[in-house]
Amino acid sequence: MTTGTLKTMRRMLLGLLAFGLAGTTTELSLMGHYEDWQQIIPLVGMGLSLLALVWCGATWSGRAVWVLRACMLLLMISGVTGTVLHYRANMEFQLEMDASIAGWALMSKVLHAKAPPALAPGNMALLGLLGLISTLAVRNNEPC
């Protein structure tokens, strides 16, 4: 793969990452995903990731790339944690509605619940992975 092709692919991935971060942050804000401190975590994480992405795109310094990668890892952790929290909240609600439900029936109801959507935080983990992939094989001070 040529250097030009790699740079083009990296720019496209970073653009897709920026679009995903901005869209997801906007969606969470419009949904009122800021009722308590735990709900603010993804908003802060994606906001910091956007700032790191802008910094990285502007300077492409070794430090900027390192910060972007750290933000992406935090997004991935946050996404997995959010999925667990959403799943547990849905499970508690379903068990309050029907204490006799268990096994596959419970899991199916939990995963199909609309609020909070159990698998939605996985989007953050995917965005984090996309960000990490976009910085593969980056050397210090290598322009984007």
Lowest mean pLDDT across 34-38, 92-96, 110-114, 139-143: 139-143
Average model confidence (pLDDT) for the chain? 91
74 in a structural domain: yes
144 in a structural domain: no
140 in a structural domain: no
Cβ(94)–Cβ(107) under 8 Å? no
Q: Which residues contact 38 (CB under 8 A, 6 or more apart)?
A: 85
139 in a structural domain: no
Work out how many domains the chain is built from and give that number: 1
Q: Give per-residue pLDDT as tens, 48-88.
A: 999 999 999 898 888 999 999 999 999 999 999 999 999 99
For residue 82, the enclosing domain spans 3-134
Burial of 66 (0-12, 13-18, 19+ CB in 10 A): middle
Which range is most confident: 19-23, 28-32, 62-66, 110-114?
Answer: 19-23
Residue 141: band (very low, low, confident or very high) from pLDDT cuts 50, 70, 90 = low
Q: Which residues contact 24 (CB under 8 A, 6 or more apart)?
A: 42, 46, 123, 124, 127
Residue 138: band (very low, low, confident or very high) from pLDDT cuts 50, 70, 90 = confident
pLDDT at 144: 55
pLDDT at 41: 93
- DSSP-derived letter for residue 98 is -
